[in-house]
Structure 1
Amino acid sequence: MKVAYVTADDTVSRHDDERETALAAWLGAGIEGAPVNWRDPRADWSEFDAVVVRSAWDYIERRDEFVAWAHRVERVTRLFNPAAVLEWNTDKTYLRALGVPTVPTFWPEPGAGLPEWDEYVVKPAVSAGARDTTRTADRDAAAAHVARLLDEGRTVMVQPYLPSVELEGELSLLYFGGRFSHAVRRHPMLSGVEATAENRATLRDPDDDQFALAERVLAAVPPDLLYARVDLVRMPDGEPVLMEVELTEPYLFLRDELAAPDLFAEALAEALKAG
């Protein structure tokens, strides 16, 4: 089996430090993986038995192009995750109707005031890696950032900053082929502390209520996923809530859990056999 491992150009994909780990595990499962830039005009996607989106981290700047690419690829071969899932998941408005507990979110319209919160996180609905995101206790500054994003024609989401993010951290639960693999406590991007290789993430066993919520999230999203990352935090009263579910190009923390690369490869091999 020959499978494309979808990346971006070198300036972006050079930060993908788990590519070789994944490709080695794929090879061990009888899958020949080849890194390919999703924007490479020379790529013939029909030559692959499947295409797996991994470090296509520049799609944020050209989401419409990326979604159109995904649908084109799916017409000639199998795509993981499916194009319809990528289109749905790359706009965080999906959080509005997911039907599970989420971080409280205000969706402002032009001229609307903001809720009275101690601290605000303002970001566009199409974003990744905290791009165009601001954290501030200044309500006027938050409103100004909202106005700038709205003026650019973007959908905006405003959330309260949760102190638990720094105290307990964000918990990411990783799933391959619908099966739980591992979980990590992630470094909070907006904490003001620089992320390093040492503090980026640490393995952690989910609490029962966190695991139960992650299972509810997976039951609410589209089926037949090769990979999924469920990011949770706790509210001030201790309730776990969903920050987002990453189904497009999440970092999978494959190097943090010894068994994870093989579990990822096994899930891919099973998906390929299923046809």
Structure 2
Amino acid sequence: MAPGNAAPPLRLDNTAALTHGVPPGFVGSALDNGRLGSAYHREGPNGRYHRPADTRGGGALGVYTRAQGTQQDGWQAQGYGVGSNPNNVQMVLSPNLLQNSNRWRASTTDNGGRVPGSRVADQAGLPAGNPLQRSPLWSRQSEASRNDNFNRTVNGPNPSHNNEQLHWQHIPLQGNLRGMVTTSQDSFDTVMRQPGALRSGLRLPGGPNGIQGLGYVNVGNERVPVVQTAPNSSQASALRHAGISDPEGKVR
């Protein structure tokens, strides 16, 4: 992390959750591996990094999350930006992981694969190929700038739809994954086919923002809720109805 002024404390009291969207077919491998992994984690130095975002130092080397503030109830259940569509599964993570690791960077918007704190000019002269050769770019953002960007993201009622936190290489699931949300019946059924998955026999909350499916999967020695909700519902509503968040809307 680059030197800078004293970093402001993270405003986790303003933070509801972090999310990362994946296709339903990827959920099983994430559970098997016990982590959300970067492209580099999967492909190594000789992988095919064909997306421009992968070649800029952040896309291939990091795992992104998006942060939702506690006042941002309009955040849609299917997410925003990369990883968001009605058929994907939103992996819902506790923001406490930010305090437990210093291996992340933050931006209030989408950087197109660049590491927050780095500039377009920083790419000049860097060799093509192995994304690991761009790892020094991860030191360009100061901790003060990182925390300030994050705190502005979760402040107030208006979501920063394409905000991102880039986590170096992987995010462990045990102790961090608190739930999954999807707006697709097929995607919910796919997740429920994981070994040890269990559908809830409880009567589900109704209404336009009610949940349409509820089950659980095993993550280590923890049982993590999986919820299917209406396509037009808010993430905050789904998390509350499924018991993933507390009464204040915080996922911990």
State the TM bucket, normalised to the shorter chain.
Answer: under 0.3
Q: Which has the higher contact order (CA 8 A, sep 6+)?
A: 2
TM-score, scaled to structure 2: 0.25
**TM-score, L = length of structure 1:** 0.23
Which structure features the higher share of helix residues?
Answer: 1
Structure whose CA Rg is larger? 1
